[in-house]
Amino acid sequence: MYEIRLRVGRPLFVSYDGGECFLRKQGEEQYLVTREDLKETMEHVSGYSLYAYEDEIRQGFLSVQGGHRVGVTGKVILDGNQIRGMKYISCINVRLAHQVLGCADPVMPYIQKNTWVAHTLIVSPPRCGKTTLLRDIIRQLSNGREGIPGLTVGVVDERSELAGCYQGIPQNDLGPRTDILDGCPKVEGMQMLIRSMSPSVVAVDELGKEDDYKAVESVIHCGCKLIATAHGDSMEDVLEQPLFRKLWKDRVFQRYILLGTGEHAGMIQGIYDRNGNLC
């Protein structure tokens, strides 16, 4: 099971491996979610301390024990141009965490050879496995493998999806040499890790903003290796984005890993070098 969506006044929706469906009681019509259902769900996932999650709700999600993530939508409360909070929550999306140990096995020989690690960008549309793959790459770099020593990895987990931290403790296995900045913006986080933690590798999820360019430059120029992900259906799609056009022109990434979509979601479609040639 991947997701459970509760929308007030609409059927309870479940997404799972191989399909999706609206739930119903035996012999009855589809079950329609009530506002009371959402209230009880929010109280339960917050440990009946919803006020403790105000900062996370302001960003549209909660991270809960087990590495699971609960997205919320509703009436946004603004203070000038800043989001102050949310009320009248009308939809909850429970995204169940799935760590796939070993899923990076096929790509590791292409991005790590002895002490050399390639600056790597993983490309796929949403929900096609790029975060899962990145998570296992981090774990394997941190653990070390087949006579290759483990590396210190710094992770900027802006949306708490990689480590799935709960009260500061990672719920997913990212390896014994991994340091995590949970809930930290990528640009500031990359700078903080470089200054204070001396990582050999910096890993971030979902690059895309033009502001990310300077932070990426700082990682590269200080001698760290960068492993990151980006949204895109293809290499051409990614290179339409200004940030990645710049990075491509500068030949920053030495490996591009393209994942499949649809029935091929999560499958490796190609691994390319910095010139766009298949490895």
User: pLDDT, tens digit, for every residue of 248-263?
Assistant: 999 999 999 999 876 6
- Phi and psi at 249, nearest 5°, equal -60, -40
pLDDT for res 2: 86
For the record, the structure tokens of 219 come out as 């990682």
Q: How confident is the model at residue 159 (pLDDT cuts 50, 70, 90)?
A: confident
pLDDT for res 249: 93
The contacts of residue 141 (CB under 8 Å, 6+ apart) are 112, 117, 150, 151, 153, 175, 201, 227
pLDDT for res 258: 96
pLDDT for res 250: 93
- Tell whether the model's pLDDT for residue 32 goes beyond 90: yes
Length of the chain: 279
Nearest to 53 by CA among 30, 85, 76, 80: 85
Apex CA 18: angle with CA 14 and CA 24, to 5°?
30
pLDDT for res 37: 96
Other Cβ atoms within 10 Å of 124 Cβ, number: 28
For the record, the structure tokens of 171 come out as 């719920």
AA letter at 96: L
- Tell whether the model's pLDDT for residue 26 goes beyond 90: no
3-state secondary structure of 182: strand
For the record, the structure tokens of 109 come out as 């020989």
pTM: 0.86
Q: How confident is the model at residue 105 (pLDDT cuts 50, 70, 90)?
A: very high
pLDDT for res 1: 84
Chain-wide mean pLDDT for the chain?
A: 92
pLDDT for res 11: 94
- Tell whether the model's pLDDT for residue 16 goes beyond 80: yes
Nearest to 75 by CA among 93, 91, 62, 87: 87
Between residues 187 and 126, which one has the greater pLDDT? 187
User: Residues 130-153: what's their mean pLDDT?
Assistant: 96
| Domains defined for the chain, CATH in brackets | 3-95 (3.30.450), 108-273 (3.40.50.300)
CB of 206 within 8 A of CB of 192?
A: no
- Tell whether the model's pLDDT for residue 182 goes beyond 70: yes
pLDDT for res 204: 97
CA distance 43 to 39: 6
pLDDT for res 264: 65
pLDDT for res 47: 87
CA distance 235 to 233: 7
pLDDT for res 179: 98
Nearest to 104 by CA among 112, 95, 96: 112
Of 51-65, 69-83, 118-132, the range with the lowest mean pLDDT is 51-65
- Tell whether the model's pLDDT for residue 24 goes beyond 90: no
Q: How confident is the model at residue 52 (pLDDT cuts 50, 70, 90)?
A: confident
Indicate the DSSP class of residue 249.
H
- Tell whether the model's pLDDT for residue 178 goes beyond 90: yes
